[in-house]
Amino acid sequence: MTPDDTRGFLRRVFRLPESRARSRRALDDELRFHLEGRIEELVAQGLSRHDAEAEARRRFGNLEIHRNATLAIDDQIIQEHRRMDFLDTVTRELRHAARSLARSRGFTVAAVLTLGLGLGAATAIFTMLDAVVLRPLPFANADRLVELTSPVPKFKGDTLWGLARHEAFYFQDNSRAIEDIGLYQNAEVTVGGDGGDHPAERARAVQASAGLFRVLGITPEYGRNIVLGDNVPRTPTVLVLGHGYWQRRFGGDASVVGRSIDIDGYPMTVVGILPASAQLPDQQVDLWYPANTYPGQQAYNNHTWNAIARLRPGFTAASAQRELAPLTARLPELFPDAEPPNFVKNTGFYTQVRPLRDVVVGDVMTRALWILFGSVLVVLFIAAANLSSLFLVRMDARRREIAVRAALGADRSHLAAQLLAESVLIALAAALLGVALAQSGLRVLLTMAPTSLPRLNEVELGAAGIAFAAGGALVVALVLGLLPLFGPSLLDLGLLRDGARGSTISRRRHVVRGALVVSQVALSLVLITAAGLMVRSFRNLRSVQPGFNPDGVLAMTIAVPGQRYGRDYARTSAFYEQLITRVEQLPGVAVAGVSEKIPLKDGNLCTGVTIEVPESDRASGDCPSTALVSPGYFEAMGIRIAGEPLTWSGMDQHDGRMIVSSAFAELHHWTGRDAIGKGLKYSGTTPPWYRVSGVAADVLADGFDKPPVSIVYFPMLPLPDAKLWGVPTEMNLVVRTKSGNAMALAPAITRIVTELEPSAATANATLMNTLVAKSMARRTFTMMLLGIAAAMALLLSVVGLYGVLSYVVGQRRGEIAIRMALGAQVAQVGRMVVAQSLRLTALGVGLGVVAALASMRVLQSLLFGVKPTDPLLLGWAAVLLLAVAVAAGYLPARRAASIDPADALRAE
Amino acid sequence: MAAPTERELLRGTLDMLVLKTLSWAPMHGLAVLRWIEAGTRERLQIEEGALYPCLHRMEQKGWLIAEWGYTDGGRKAKFYRLSAAGRRQLAAEVSRWRHYTETVALLLAAEPSP
């Protein structure tokens, strides 16, 4: 065959594409053959050469026209062929790849499992990150919604006040940045019983300004929203029902619109029902009723309103905050009745604007999810590294096949197509497995996840998650499929000549594989350290003495109707005293008490108190939280008291005893028993004074990682002439049990409450231990997920290490056999393998320590009581990995040692 | 050159003639023409260039298979042969043609009705 024919043959065999130039040449050959044939024929018939040519051309007709017409057809043919060739190549390569993968089932299963695991973890966490952090809140124009708050840095560190009503309306009228503004306050209310199936119950309510409905884009399902006119107080007031509550309490009956409902003993008229989508950011609301907020009302210095604003297009939170600064500074001048002249100067008061989403999700959660996402990407990388390692082993085994194909004229793109087809198939299967794993993993995660995490109800594996898994799989497939082509060794035809040895190639591969293992070990060390830091933080947090003892303690809210109790301390106090007496008679109950505020549940906004003999150097930040309590509360909550506690008989006889927290005493430099006998009052400066009878242990009421709360406790039955801030119609009942399930007491307590006062309601029955767990939820959750990621990283690294060692032992069979034949001991051979494992791991550990030291600072805000660069933890992580390296080397070492020299050498 | 009427006729039937010709044996373009000339006793004279778009189109349609080969004189030429699809196409065209000519013949032979 001529070289031309050979090319044509190979082209057909390997289906190399035709080119237009080639088809043009072929057509010209064909036409020339035709004309020359005719001319010869005519010459044979006796025409002169010249005449024959002219006659042949005449018969042929217009050469250009016919040639072009034919070429056009040829071009179509080429295009069709190319299209079909492409499809053909794809299906053929895929089929070929599927067959070849089916042949090596072990490899395929290992590869799909490894990558599927990595993809599953990454997809699950990406889905959470997407739902919680990346996706906008479920409101119209969510990206333009901001929260307005008022920091008072000079008054009290990180306290955030809300907005005053006049302030909000002033901003609405005068700020260019703010398009609309909504105000609200959370409240719990008692919905009166209907005499039938529904007894009196507590409901989560919101007092809202009409603006809130506009800002959040709420349109009612039935009836109407709260409108501006409703915000001017009048009776009866109106009410809008949340969808869920409407379903639960009224069975979804739309005729409830227009009906009157008893709220805290007052009639309110239902004017509308909201759709299920209408919610406050990450907060379920049962009832919405109008807040007393309207433009032009008397200005008060009450910065207590939550404010959500919608910015005009083009403004950011930062630019809005800049714009509001001068407006805020002018407030005292404009509203002299509300703010004292030096108010802004003394408190450092300003208006802070933050994107609503950041407020809802929180910095810690955002950071935690990004860190977790980073961790699972690392796991995915480790999985992909394992996979590359597997692929490299496979490549080596197939070097001959590839060399033959290369010699037969297959070019790199064809070899790439074949490798790519295999990795695409594996990635595809892995993506399917990953999505399935992510789906079930998320379900488990969400049931384990504490409900106090934001936006968890929005987490769902959807198109974004599936696209992520597919995209991740594709990237891995591309890298895997193309990676082996970048070395020249693939097309080394020398392989065909000298048998399938090519030791230089395998050395190059050794380096690549070694590098993969080293990076896996290094990354695992980083993840293990991170998980270790989280576990240490969690344990530190758990071992903190919170100042109360949550074990076996039940807490629940008890509310009496404000209409009948709201002005009568004695009546209210008597009710709670009766209740506590009855509850203490229940079997298993040790002691019970009530308090307005309990740790980890109620906010501790501070108020001022007056002291009988003020110190000359009054401590700055002297702004304690206050709570009304009953005798027995401290015992029930397990808060130790130094001095005399409150007693029932003493309180009823107005002995004036009160308790202060240790932090409050320290702030006033009352050491030891100094505090006892000091006179305090809620407001006013004239006798009678309450007398401090005991100092309560400090309680970490705002969270175990926060400083203790400075708080003063007044008796719930005040002195007749030293009024407190209001009758406590809503209290937390705290019950300490001797044994058994404290939660099981809740129904019995609710029965007692209803017997004592049919229109009283109970709610929020919860164990104190549950509140503790909730307060640590974000840390626990992060710790748990980081732990899972670290365990996966460790497992995959071990598998990677094991794979490489097994391969190396396989490769070195000959060498090992010679050593054994020359008298090496079994133990020596084993040590050699383990030593290799340790060498790689030690290098990885070294790099990992450096990486951990450099990167652990991102964890700082999630840690508690442990430094990000804790040397002990790093040491333990290193030891763990080295131990694992020895274990990973064990099996391959045994295999190496069991090689029979004679067999191995014969096989060479 | 063929008369215009013959050319009209030819355009629709060239495909059929080429298929018929190639049903005897694989041939190159020039041979196909010689066969048609001989077979029709030179009554049909085709503009030879028009044969090539026709051959390539039928190759595109999968009726013909083209291969380069050598003539008896040892010259390289492109040979066409009928594929299975080409054979089916030929049968279809022939039966259509017969039907058509029979119909026309019937009409031409008809006596005016009394």
CB contact under 8 A, A77 and B78: no
Q: Report the gap between the CA of A70 and the closest CA in chain B (Å).
A: 4
A26 touches chain B (CB under 8 A): yes
pLDDT of residue A12: 52
Q: Which of A144-148, A186-190, A287-291 has the least mean pLDDT? A: A186-190
Where does the pLDDT of residue B2 fall: very low under 50, low under 70, confident under 90, or very high at 90 and above? very low
B73 touches chain A (CB under 8 A): no
Phi-psi sector, A732: left (phi>0), alpha (psi -120 to 50), beta: beta
| CATH number of the domain within which B97 lies | 1.10.10.10
pLDDT, tens only, A827-849: 788 888 888 888 888 999 999 99
For A509-529, write each residue's pLDDT tens digit: 677 778 888 888 898 898 888
Give the DSSP H or E segment for A180.
strand A178-191
Task: Give the C-alpha separation, A303 to A534, whole Å.
Answer: 38
Q: What is the pLDDT of residues B84-112, one digit of tens each?
A: 999 999 999 899 889 988 999 998 888 77
What is chain A's mean pLDDT, rounded? Answer: 84
Task: Give the chain A residue nearest B61 (alpha carbons).
Answer: A77
A31 interfacial to chain B (CB closer than 8 Å): yes
In the structure, what pLDDT confidence band is assigned to residue B11 with cuts at 50, 70 and 90? Answer: low
**CA of B91 to nearest chain A CA: how many angstroms apart?**
24
Res A806 pLDDT > 90: no
Is the CB of residue B11 less than 8 Å away from at least one CB of chain A?
no
* Nearest alpha-carbon partner for A599 in A553, A642, A641, A643: A553
For residue A270, is pLDDT > 90? yes
Q: What is the pLDDT of residues A61-100, one digit of tens each?
A: 888 899 999 999 988 888 888 888 788 878 888 888 888 8
B8 is a domain residue: yes
Query: Given a cut of 60, is residue A216 above it in pLDDT?
Result: yes
B74 part of contact set with chain A, CB < 8 Å:
no
Extract the runs of DSSP E, i.e. beta strands, from A209-286.
222-223, 237-241, 260-263, 266-273
Q: Is the pLDDT of residue A429 over 50?
A: yes
Query: Closest Cα to residue A329, out of A150, A161, A178?
Result: A150
Residue A66 near chain B (CB below 8 Å): yes
Q: Which of the four pLDDT bands, split at 50, 70 and 90, describes residue A432?
A: very high
Write a three-state SS string for A360-385. HHCHHHHHHHHHHHHHHHHHHHHHHH
Q: Any CB–CB contact under 8 A between B29 and chain A?
A: yes
Q: Which residues contact A460 (CB under 8 A, 6 or more apart)?
A: A127, A131, A442
- B46: nearest CA partner in chain A: A59
Q: What is the pLDDT of residue A269?
A: 92
Contact with chain B for residue A55, Cβ under 8 A: no
Nearest CA in chain B to A71: B53
**Closest residue of chain A to B51, computed from CA coordinates:** A66
Of residues A189, A188, A172, A168, the one with CA closest to residue A180: A172
Place of tokens 């591309």: A478
Query: Measuring CA to CA, which residue among A415, A394, A382 is closest to residue A101?
Result: A394
Query: Does B53 sit within 8 Å of A66, measured CB to CB?
Result: yes
pLDDT range class, residue A542, cuts 50, 70, 90: confident
pTM to 2 decimal places: 0.73
Provide the pLDDT for residue A767: 92
Distances in Å between the Cα of A571 and the Cα atoms of A566, A656, A751 are: 9, 18, 20
* Residue of chain A minimizing CA distance to B59: A77
Q: Measured between CB atoms, does A82 come within 8 Å of chain B?
A: no
Is the residue at B47 inside a domain?
Answer: yes
Distance, CA of A236 to CA of A269 (rounded, Å) = 7
Min Cα–Cα distance to chain A from B35, Å: 14
Q: What is the pLDDT of residues A200-214, one digit of tens each?
A: 888 889 999 999 999
Mean pLDDT of A22-43: 89
Q: What is the pLDDT of residue A713?
A: 92
Chain B from 51 to 70: CB within 8 A of any A CB: 52-53, 56-57, 59-60, 68
Report chain B's mean pLDDT, rounded to a whole number: 83
Any idea which of A660-674, B21-35, B86-100 has the lowest mean pLDDT?
A660-674
Q: Shortest CB distance from B29 goes to which of A30, A59, A69? A: A30
Q: What is the pLDDT of residue A509?
A: 65
Judged by CB atoms closer than 8 Å, whether chains meet at B48 and A61 is answered as yes
Which residues of chain B does A65 touch, with a Cβ-Cβ cutoff of 8 Å? Answer: 49
What do you get for the CA distance between the two ends of chain A, in Å?
A: 39
Pair B64, B83: CB distance under 8 Å: yes
What average pLDDT does the segment A231-249 reach? 87
Q: Report, as an integer, the average pLDDT of A866-872.
A: 85
- Cβ separation A38–B56 shorter than 8 A: no
pLDDT of residue A617: 53
pLDDT of residue B10: 58
Nearest to A583 by CA among A759, A755, A752: A752
Instruction: Report chain B's terminal Cα–Cα distance, integer Å.
Output: 44
The answer to whether residue B114 sits within a structural domain is no
- Location of structure tokens 């379903």: A247
One-letter amino acid identity for A567?
A: R
- Chain B residue numbers with beta carbons less than 8 Å from the beta carbon of A66 are 49-50, 52-53
Interface check for B47 against chain A (CB to CB < 8 A): the answer is yes
Cα gap A154→A339, rounded to integer Å:
16
pLDDT class for A488, splitting at 50, 70, 90?
A: very low
- pLDDT (mean) for A165-182: 91
pLDDT at A502 over 50: no
Tell whether B31 is covered by a domain: yes
- Using N-to-C axis directions, what is the helix angle for A569-584 and A746-756, rounded to 10°? 140
Tokens of A467: 């696209």
pLDDT at A413 (0 to 100): 65
On whether residue B87 sits in a domain, the answer given is yes
Q: Are A736 and A745 in contact (CB under 8 A)?
A: no
Mean pLDDT of the A555-560 span: 90
CA atoms A489, A491, A497, A499: torsion sign: positive
CB spacing of A33 vs B57 below 8 angstroms: no
The candidate with the shortest Cα–Cα distance to A845, out of A873, A866, A871, A874, is A874
**pLDDT tens per residue, range A114-163:** 899 999 999 998 998 998 888 888 888 888 999 999 888 776 666 778 88
pLDDT grade for A445, boundaries at 50, 70 and 90: confident
Q: What is the ipTM of this complex?
A: 0.86
Q: Verify whether the Cβ–Cβ distance A33 to B59 is below 8 Å.
A: no
If you average pLDDT over residues A703-722, what whole number do you get? 86
User: In terms of CA atoms, which chain B residue is nearest residue A69?
Assistant: B53
Please say if the pLDDT value at position A267 is more than 50.
Answer: yes
Residue of A nearest to B54 (CA): A70
Nearest Cα to Cα of residue A622 among A659, A561, A568, A666: A666
Q: How many CB atoms lie within 10 A of CB A254?
A: 11
Q: What is the mean pLDDT of residues A317-345?
A: 84
Instruction: Give the Cβ contact number of residue B96 at 10 Å.
Output: 11
Whether residue B22 lies inside any domain: the answer is yes
Domain interval for residue B97: 4-109
Q: Do A27 and B49 touch (CB under 8 A)?
A: no
Asked if A129 contacts A373 with a C-beta cutoff of 8 angstroms, the reply is yes
How confident is residue A450, by pLDDT bands cut at 50, 70 and 90? low
Burial string for A716-748 (b: 16+ CB within 10 Å, else e) reads bbbbeebebeebbbbbbbbbbbeeeebeebbee
Give the number of domains in chain B. 1
3 state DSSP class of A545: coil
Q: Is A623 helix (H, G, I), strand (E, B) or coil?
A: coil
DSSP A220-233: -SEE----GGGGS-
